[in-house]
Structures are given as structure tokens and as C-alpha cells.
Amino acid sequence: MGTIITFYSFKGGTGRTFALVNTSCLLAQSKNKKILLIDWDLDAPGLDQYLKPYLKEGDKDKGGLIEFMYELKERFSENEIDWDDTDMLTLLIERILDKYLLTVNLPLDSKVHYLRAGLFNEVYSAKVQNFNWRKFFKKFPEFFTHFAYFLTRKYDYVLIDARTGHTDIGGICTMLMPEKLVLVHTMNHQSIDGVVEVAKKAIEYRRNSNDLRPLVIFPLPSRVDLDEDELHEKWKKMYVAEFKKLLIESYSLPRSIKVDNYFNNVQIRHASNYSYGEKIAVLDNADTNRYSLTRAFKSFTVQMEDIGKIWEYEPFSNLDQPLKSFMVFSEKDTEFKGLFLNQIKPLILKKVLVFDEPTVPAELWESAQIRAIAAGKYDIVIVLFTENLVSESVWKDNLVDFPKSKNKFLFTIMLSKNLKLPDFLESSYQIPKVVYTVSSSGDRVTFIAKEFENGLIKLIDQ
């Protein structure tokens, strides 16, 4: 299955089409790839000017996307469509689409097709203005899902050049079609705030839709003037913070994610010689130095295609010091306690947890340990809750006084589904509990230890 990638900018003049063309050429350098470029910016189409030198003379008079949509609309209106018949829909879409596909004869190793915006004649503008995308979607809501599925079966990469601003076409290109959304922006608030808002809406839409494909965003700073060092650093700090916030909120990521490496390597500098005409930099510009456009687009393409995300994450990286830890358990559960501690040993070696004192069963607690818990000496108290521990009362009154603080963690592991937690463990803390039934087998302990680590990551990094 292929991948659909939409290039979107909130404002014009960002170099969005320039970025799409150069990215597509880098993807096409891989042998035997099938690539489709779609110009969905019907009001201000720009791909033709870049690709015109690579088209056959006879192809320049062919129609494109707008003619394709009108013909589809006519066919759909004339016939009863069975949206569950994937084979029939595939055949119908393919027969119509093939009429409008152009071959781009780039000096590269892959096959590149192009679906232009339309035939640019005296009726083009009227066609664009008269096509009601909202009405089409309401009448045939299943179409774009099927179209996306069809394209990803036929091509390795589909790159869409989307309309700017808040439009019906923009919504189709950002919400319905892609798996990857490239947010091309320049160094101003309108451009950055605009793409952030559209990305939020696209991610929210997909989260609540029946489309199970992921939607991953890739901000692309463009036309960056590297000669203005002070201004560059000021704006970079600002937009990095904006996109990091967007990622954390949209994908429920930990606050400790790192995006600096991506933004240090991915930025398309302003190159005055490419402000004139429509030249493709990666075909024209050698990868001679770290500031070359070819190297910049290569860095972006590798990040988008090979790595697949822009953030890095190292669990517990925001811990200033190890968490002072204490374990509550019954003497009869000493064997399980030992197995559990052995499984979480990597957290101890990484200095995430530290047990300053030997772990002592609740039956053998002394007053010093009781006072330490009540005073909040420990950052995390782990309770191995079993039938054996229920009968011991010495620990209960003291955990009630364990400080209720966002920096103090009470982590309860239920070792039997038939037990009922004491009220203070159930309701007094906002810290989630892990509830599992376990045997003494090592595999089961491994599973619980891993769940404990995952829970700890959420507690610390969120």
C-alpha cells in the first residue's frame, strides 16, 4: 500500500508547490516507484509551470482533476452505486482517471504521473466555480475514502498540492485524503497560526472518523532567511514551541518529547535565484554544502519517509533525580516481591528509582519507616496488594497520611481481581492503579513490571 501526502499552506507565497515538486523528485530517485502528483489547488494551480518542460506536447491539451470530478459526478448520479462493491468502484474510478493522467518524463528512475488541475481554457474558471464540493461530499460521502484507497493501491506515493486558507477543497486535502500532512509555513504569525489551526481540525476530524489510517504532521519552515541570525533564532524558538505543543496535545505525547533535531535539520532557506521562474532545485542544485536546497529537501524527505515522525522520546529524561522508592508488601509475598524487583531492575540501574533502604515486609515495620512514609520522605510508594496484605493493619493508617502531591506517586498493583481496595487507595489519589491477576510465573511478573513501567512513564512525563 502506498502513502498519500498533502502539502498545505495557510497563505500563498510559502513555496509549497516548490517543496512538493522537489520532494517528489527525491522520492522518484528510488527505482521502480510509482508516483502521482495531484494539483488540487484549483483556484491558483502551480504544478503545471514546474512540470511543463517534462510533459509530452500532446498531453498539454488534456483535462485534469476538475474534469475528472465532473465525469464522476455524472456517472454517480446516473447509476445506483454499491459502495460495498470495491472492485466495481475501482474499475469505474480507474477508467475515468486514466483519461486525465499525464506522464512526467523526469530524468529519474521512477514512473511519475500527473493529474493537473484541469484544462486551462476559456471555461476552466467557470467549471471550478460551479463545482459544489460540499454538495458532492454530502451526496457521495464514501467517495473520498474509496478514492484514497484506490490511489494507495495503485501508487507508492501520491503527493497533493492543496488549496490555501479555510476551504472545502482544503478540508478534503487535509482531513480526508492524506496519511501525512506537510505544513509549509513562512516566518510570520498568519502563516504559522493558520497551519496549526488547520492541523488541529484535521487530526480531530480523523480521530472521530471511521478512517483507521494515521495522520501524521510534518511542519516545513520555508523561505527562511539564514542571514538574519537574531531574527531567525527568535522565530525558530517560537515556531518550535508552537508545533511541539500541537504534537503533545494532538497525539497525547509526553511533555518531554524532543523536536529540536528535526527543526535543526529541516528548514528550506530563502534562495534568491529560485525566486525567478519555476526551476526544480534537486535537479539543478548539487548537494555541495549544508545550506544547499538539495540537502535541505533530502533531510526533510528522509525524516518524513524513513523516520516517519518528527519527535524523539527518551522515557524519564525530564527527571532531575531518582525517585526515592518504598514498597509495601506482605512477608508471605516475599518471593513475588523479589521477582518484581528483578524485573524493574533496569529502572534502578537507569537511576529512575532508588531504594535507599532494604524493603521490609509490612509485618516487620518499625516506627521510623512509618514516620518516613507519613512525612513524605519517599517519592513513590508501591503497594503489592494481596489477600496476605489485607490482614495486616500496620501499613493502612500510615498510607492515609501519605502526602497528596503531584510529585508524590502512590502506585497500587492488585494481585487478585477478587480483592477490594481500601477506600483511601481507591479514591484519595489521582494516581492510576494497575489491576491484574497473577501467578508466580516469571512471564506474568514480566508483564506486570512492564505495565508498571508504562504507568510510571505516564505519571512522570505527562
Task: Kindly give, in sequence order, each residue whose CB lies less than 8 Å from that of residue 70, ignoring residues fewer than 6 positions away.
Answer: 127, 131
Domains of the chain by range and CATH? 3-307 (3.40.50.300), 323-461 (3.40.50.360)
pLDDT digits (tens, 9 = 90+) for 16-63: 999 999 999 999 987 789 999 999 999 999 999 999 999 988 787 899
Please answer whether residues 225 and 207 qualify as being in contact, where contact means their C-beta atoms are separated by less than 8 angstroms: no
DSSP-derived secondary structure for 89-122:
HHHHHHHHHTTT-EEE--SSSSEEEEE-S---ST
Asked whether the CA dihedral 91, 94, 97, 99 is positive or negative, the reply is: negative
DSSP-derived secondary structure for 419-444:
----HHHHHS--S--EE----S-HHH
Residue among 179, 27, 190 nearest 106 (CA)? 27
Q: How much is the pLDDT for 428?
A: 39
Task: Kindly give, in sequence order, each residue whose CB lies less than 8 Å from that of residue 58, ignoring residues fewer than 6 positions away.
Answer: none
Cell of 306: 524513513
Q: How much is the pLDDT for 115?
A: 97
Q: How much is the pLDDT for 397?
A: 66
Q: How much is the pLDDT for 453?
A: 83
Q: What are the pLDDT tens digits along the chain (462 aa)?
A: 899 999 999 999 999 999 999 999 999 987 789 999 999 999 999 999 999 999 988 787 899 999 999 999 999 888 788 888 888 889 999 999 999 999 999 888 789 999 999 999 999 999 999 999 999 999 998 999 999 999 999 999 999 999 999 988 889 999 999 999 999 999 999 999 999 999 999 999 999 888 888 899 999 999 999 888 899 999 999 999 999 999 999 988 888 888 988 998 899 999 888 888 899 999 886 666 667 899 999 999 999 988 788 888 878 877 888 999 988 888 888 888 888 888 889 899 888 899 877 778 887 777 777 777 777 888 888 888 777 776 666 666 667 667 766 677 777 777 666 667 666 665 433 444 444 444 444 456 787 788 788 778 777 766
Q: How much is the pLDDT for 313?
A: 80
Bridge partners of residue 385, in order along the sequence: 414
CA distance 89 to 81: 8
Q: How much is the pLDDT for 246?
A: 95
Q: How much is the pLDDT for 227?
A: 86
Q: How much is the pLDDT for 416?
A: 66
| 108 CB-side CA count, 13 A | 26
Q: How much is the pLDDT for 288?
A: 62
Q: How much is the pLDDT for 423?
A: 64
